[in-house]
A = this chain, B = another copy of it.
C-alpha cells in the first residue's frame, strides 16, 4: 500500500480512502491512485483489514457433513448467494449433529472472526449450542427450531406435507400412510405434522406412523411391511429416496404403482422424474431459502444489530407426475 502511495504521490491514508470509496477524495487524485494500483497489481491484504476492523468479509456456515440432498443443496445454493454479495464462505461441517460438535464448529468460526454465521442444523440438539453464542454475532438458522431460533429461514414442511397428503386424498384414497424421516429432525417432524393435519381435516383415519432415516434402505425396509398390507393404497414418504426404496420393495412383491398403490415423495431430486414410475413429489425452493438467508444475514451485518427475530418461510410446490392414481376398486 505504501508503494502505491509513493507511486501516486499521495499518502497511504489517501490510498485507503480510495479503496474504501470515501467521499472526500478529489477526482484527479482518485484516478492517480487507481492508476498506481493497476500498475503495481496491488491487492489489499484482507487479513490486515480484518485485524483492525475486527470483522471480515467471510460468513461461517455450520452444516452436517452429509450427502443428503436437502442440506447439500442448501449449502451450494447458499455459497453462491453469499459470493454474489461479495462474501466468502467458510464451511465447518459437523460429522454428527450433537450439541458438542456443533458448539465446536461454531467456536472455530468465531476464532476466524467471521462476519456472520449460518447454521443448517435441523435437529433439536443445535439449540443449546446456539444459546451460548455471544449476543452480537449475526446469526441465521436454516430449518432450525421454530420455537427458539431468533432469525429463521425455513421450508414450510407442514404445508408441503399437507399438500402431498391432500393430493392423495383428492385422488380418492380413504387414507394415507407415511414413512417419516428421523424423529429428531425438525424437517421430519414438520412433515409428520402436515400429514396428520391433512388427515384430520379430511376426517380420515390415521394409520400408524412408520419411521425411516432418509435413506432408500429405510424405504425398502418399511416397504416390505407395507407390501403385505392389502389395505394400503397411498403412501407419502418423507423424501424421494425413501420413496425409491419403497418402489423397489413394492415391485419385488409384485404390487404395482400407481395402479394398486399411489406414492408421493418430497424434495424433487433431479432423478425423481426417472423413477419407475416418475415420482409425484414436493419441491422446496432451495435457491429461495439461500437468497432469503443471505438477505437476512446481511441486514444484520449492515445494521450492526443482530437478532431481528425475522422469519422467512418458503412454500414448496407439488410436482404431479405418474405415481398417483385413484385407488383400485375392491
A contact set with B: CB distance below 8 Å? 43-48, 50-51, 56, 58, 65-67, 69, 72-73, 76, 79-80, 83, 88-93, 95, 107-108, 110-113, 215-217, 219-220, 241, 244-245, 247-248, 251, 270-271, 273-276, 278
Contact = CB atoms under 8 A, between A and B. Distances in A.
Nearest to A251: B276
Instruction: Specify the main secondary structure of chain A where it touches its partner.
Output: helix
A2 to B, nearest CB: 16
B65 A76 contact: yes
Contacts of A251: 276
- Identify the interface centre among A44, A108, A241, A270: most chain B CB within 10 Å of its CB: A270
A168 to B, nearest CB: 22
Contact of A216 (B47, B88, B89, B274): B274
B276 A112 contact: no
Contacts of A248: 274-276, 278
B88 A89 contact: no
Given A244-B271, A247-B276, A270-B215, A91 B89 contact: yes
Contacts of A108: 88
Nearest to A50: B47
A90 B58 contact: yes
A102 B216 CA distance: 35
Contact of A274 (B83, B93, B220): B220
B270 A241 contact: yes
Q: Which of A66, A73, A108 has the most CB of B within 10 A?
A: A108
Contact of A270 (B67, B274, B278): B67
A37 to B, nearest CB: 14
A113 to B, nearest CB: 5
A301 to B, nearest CB: 17
Contact of A46 (B46, B69, B113, B274): B113
A48 to B, nearest CB: 5
